[in-house]
Amino acid sequence: MTDGGCAITVDRLVEDARMSGDLVQLAGDVTYYVTAAAGACGGALLARTQDQATDATVRLGQRFAQRIFGVRAEGEEVPEPLADVIDDPDDGDSQAALRKAVRKVLAADAELAAQVQQWVQDAYKTGVVMTSGMRSPAVHTNHGIIAVGDGNTFRR
């Protein structure tokens, strides 16, 4: 189909939509890890030192942040969306702004997006479990009941 002299194929539209959806999911995954690391590391998130990041989720979040936003000296200015999450990791609006910033960086660099996607897949395989939201269970393997909410009762 053509529109104003621009040829657009259906395959291209489908591929763009798929890639856009993939990037949205990937940016969401990355934002979860970076937010966890921001809460744990604070202003040292982009500093090269990783000694303080002992938790696997925090280490991975710090790795994502450094790869996407660059390594900075402790105390050096960080990008605003990241600074806002460092200031208040629980603020949903700040997380959304960070997710958008991450998605833009990944959309602009296919090689980086592929590398980050591989890191996320590796994290899933090694058991780095992520969860989001109030009362969200984080489980790698479950052989029993998971109940969230109030007033649950179980009978044997």
Residue pLDDT tens, the chain, 156 long? 444 444 444 444 444 444 556 888 888 888 888 888 888 888 788 886 655 445 778 888 889 999 999 998 877 899 999 999 999 999 999 999 999 999 999 999 999 999 999 988 888 777 655 555 556 665 556 667 777 777 777 776
Contact 30, 68 (CB under 8 A): yes
CA atoms within 13 A of residue 114's CA, in its CB half-sphere: 3
Rg of the chain's alpha carbons, rounded to an integer?
19
pTM for this structure? 0.65
CA dist 30 and 119 (Å) reads: 10
